A and B are shown apart, each in its own frame.
Chain A
Amino acid sequence: GQQLNQSPQSMFIQEGEDVSMNCTSSSIFNTWLWYKQDPGEGPVLLIALYKAGELTSNGRLTAQFGITRKDSFLNISASIPSDVGIYFCAGQISPGGSQGNLIFGKGTKLSVKP
């Protein structure tokens, strides 16, 4: 089946540093979604991307839908302690209907040192 490769698996950074993580796939996706999950909570949607080449920002977060439609990256600028958590990418082949379920990457665990 389809798989998403998300990297890095974990990151330990200093507060104020920028962060970059990415996902690649062997399949073409129509939608890329980026989520953040805090411990003991459900994932929260950060950014949704719908078109190849699309670059979208949400505050200090920026994500891009790769031109090949097989990859996406998420950047976090000037990290702060509350950025700590697990970030998941998710790809979707069919944007609508019951068959359009998400395929998740394995997550990037971000730790920020004050």
Chain B
Amino acid sequence: GAVVSQHPSWVICKSGTSVKIECRSLDFQATTMFWYRQFPKQSLMLMATSNEGSKATYEQGVEKDKFLINHASLTLSTLTVTSAHPEDSSFYICSARKVTEAFFGQGTRLTVV
């Protein structure tokens, strides 16, 4: 397998503040990483595809100015939730592609109060 580390595993923030979530591939290089959002008891919803050195590709309905993605190196992608609101509270998960397989981080539980 391969190791993908996501940090933090949980965060509580005040409404209106911004939160950054990091996704690192620890033992391989990933030119492509993906960011998902998961609501309770539901499947993973793809938010955006993060490409190293270029702009992220966002899925329809996902606000690119609210969910800022930066893939500055082959082992790190970040998701910043800007001006967070309680409705942004969710479980956010990243994955990194290694050849033909995708490996997931541990997820980040975001709670906006």
* A41 and B103 in contact, given A88-B44, A100-B97, A104-B43 (Cβ under 8 angstroms): no
Chain A residues whose C-beta falls within 8 Å of the C-beta of B93 in the assembled complex: 42-43
- Considering only CB atoms and an 8 Å cut-off, how many residues of chain A contact the other chain? 26
Q: Number of B interface residues at 8 Å Cβ cutoff, please give it.
A: 28
Q: Note all chain B residues with C-beta closer than 8 A to A102.
A: 34, 46, 95, 102
Rounded to whole angstroms, the CA-CA distance of A90 and B45 in the bound complex is 12
0/1 per residue, B38-61, Cβ < 8 Å to A? 000111101001010000010000
B34 touches A101 (CB 8 A): yes
**B106 contact from A42, A98, A104, Cβ within 8 A:** A42
Beyond A101-B49, A104-B44, A105-B43: 8 further Cβ-contacts under 8 Å? A42-B93, A43-B104, A44-B104, A97-B32, A100-B97, A101-B46, A102-B34, A104-B43
